[in-house]
A and B are shown apart, each in its own frame.
Chain A
Amino acid sequence: MMRLPLPWLFALTGGALALLLVGSLATGPMALSFGESLRALFAGQESGIAAHKLLIVQEIRLPRTLLCIAVGGILGLCGAVMQGLFRNPLADPGIIGVSGGAALGAALAIVLLAPLGQQWQSLLGIGLLPLLAFLGGALTTTLVYLLGTREGGTSVTVMLLAGVAITALSGAVIGLLTYLADDQMLRNLSLWQMGTLAAGKPVDVALALATLIVLLLLFMLDANPLNALLLGEGEARHLGVNVQSLKRRLILLTAAGVGVAVAVAGMIGFVGLVVPHLVRLLAGPNHVRLLPLSALLGAALLLGADMLARTLLAPAELPVGIITALLGAPFFIWLLVKGRRTL
């Protein structure tokens, strides 16, 4: 496919994101026009706009929109970095075990700790469930990394297979936990597993946005070494890159990024797989362009998916993870078919 010039790409994805942002503020059970929702966003109490409209836009729709942008950006960015790190365009943040481990942490929180954790949740601020999900994700990733690391380098194959095994193991433990759970716990568990952005608490939104910004800045510093890594680990070393420390840094940062995303929004699959692919088609694989564009497009994509989730079965709401899986899984299969000979 033809590569587009860089300013066009940024204008295109940035424009799409801005449009979706306003659309997301305007969409919902109470329809608002674009202009109305924009005015309500910046208006104060004395602006003459009805107080309930201000409340809906500023207190309900804005946090949710920002959370979508932050989580989508993190997932797109981490997907791009993981694919570079594994030198495999099929790698996905979930594959190295973060999602499985995070789900296990969340299941533990919901089933074993939730009955006694009500007071703790308010005390901890960000809540017991997100914290355990994040810890579970980070611990699993570290374990997978240790399994995959041998003297002289990290075996990508071993890491991928270890990720598969650990995801299966945590799935089994979650299965066991469902036998211990009561009805309310089961409902919480499945809602969290499918991913939801509705509960956009300000502290979650701030955490996710801060994570996105910090990760983007740190990953951009490693954009050129990541390009060199695609040549091969030996070649990157010959070009003066400290490969071991680069890999360790990227693994920890992606684990933290995906951990935060999973913790605040649940399991949202395929964004990290689909977005870097689309960007590579339009902009090429150079990480200097790929990373910021993946963050932008990831944000736009998740925002669009969330608008679908909110409106398709209105007034009921679908978990956004179902939408991204419906869009992403066929894409993944298409990639497999397309690359069958080369994988």
Chain B
Amino acid sequence: MPASTPLLRCHQLSLTRAGRPILDRLDLSLQAGTLTALLGPNGAGKSSLLKCLTGELEHEGEISLFGRERQAWPAMELAHSVGVLPQSSSLNFPFLCEEVVAMGRLPHSEPASRRDQIVRAAMTHAGVEHLASRLYPGLSGGERQRVQFARVLAQIWQAPDDPQQPRLLLLDEPTSALDLKYQHQLLTMARALAARNTAVLVVLHDLNLAARYADRLVMLEQGRLMADGTPAEVLTPALIDRLYDYPAQVIHHPETGLPMVV
């Protein structure tokens, strides 16, 4: 695969539910090394877009991953390099947290010692190593979200024999259950992953978090691409007013110069 090929490309992606268009001829490409924030008001089609990308929803149009059509990939092989963090998880059986994280290694066949090593490393990176032998159902919402993030990290953990392996990480509102500290910690991790030949797509509601961590903001409105560009290009008072029907002001951060919505 040539280096310039986008890791993810969708072309004329459309989705209709009960006669109502959810996604309307959407074109989107993601490059390795970038973190893209997917924004838009409620019901704009953000989660539906993610579900199309992961193959959970039937759709029209083409989606190719790593230069190959999505349907042509064997599911297990694709799971080696595509990680998905859903909004919330319904696990209520008394698994230990380290067992939950180890489930991320399901697509890989490897000796148990290597698996345990990766599970520990992923838990450390997600800041949940102290939860390893706690029962998952007893955790708070935020702790669960971080354990699930560790599971996804473990799933797409870089193989030592292929450090350049391109990966795709899809995060659906990963910060919704997290407090301020962990919101920043999680997005810092996502940025670090992006720097390692990964394309990250993250659904966010907080425009300021998006401006701070994303290279690129993609705005959806009623299933259509409304705006696509750097935070400075996209976050204008006019656009925010139009999208969210809310009169906002945009100022610039005194140190970083990044746009901030107030």
Contact = CB atoms under 8 A, between A and B. Distances in A.
User: Does B bind A?
Assistant: yes
Interface of A: 87, 89, 152, 224-225, 227-228, 230-232, 234-235, 237-242, 280, 284-286, 342
A237 B92 contact: no
A241 B84 CA distance: 14
Interface in B84-131: 84, 86, 89-96, 99-100, 103-104, 106-107
Contacts of A238: 54, 79, 82-84, 86, 155
7 A-B pairs with the lowest CB-CB distances in the bound complex, closest first: A240-B79, A240-B76, A285-B93, A238-B84, A240-B107, A240-B75, A239-B106
Contacts of A227: 95, 99, 103, 106
B83 A285 contact: no
A87 B92 CA distance: 8
A230 B89 CA distance: 10
Interface in B39-81: 51, 54-58, 75-80
Given A227-B99, A241-B106, 8 more contacts: A87-B93, A152-B56, A230-B95, A239-B103, A239-B104, A240-B80, A285-B95, A286-B99
Contacts, number: 76
A76 to B, nearest CB: 17
Contact of A239 (B79, B93, B94, B99): B79
B89 A232 contact: yes
A235 B94 contact: no
A239 B56 contact: no
B94 A232 contact: no
Contacts of A235: 84, 86, 89
20 contacts: A87-B92, A89-B93, A230-B91, A231-B91, A232-B86, A232-B90, A232-B91, A234-B51, A237-B55, A237-B75, A238-B54, A238-B83, A239-B103, A239-B107, A240-B75, A240-B78, A240-B80, A242-B75, A284-B94, A284-B99
A149 to B, nearest CB: 16
Interface in B169-188: none
Contacts of B55: 237
Given A242-B75, A285-B93, A285-B94, A234 B107 contact: no
Given A239-B104, A241-B75, A342 B92 contact: yes
A68 B97 CA distance: 37
Contacts of B106: 224-225, 227-228, 239-241
A234 B172 CA distance: 13
B95 A286 contact: yes
Given A239-B79, A240-B76, A284-B99, A87 B90 contact: yes
A50 B89 CA distance: 64
Nearest to B84: A238
A241 B103 CA distance: 12
Contacts of A241: 75, 106
Contacts of A234: 51, 54, 56, 84, 86
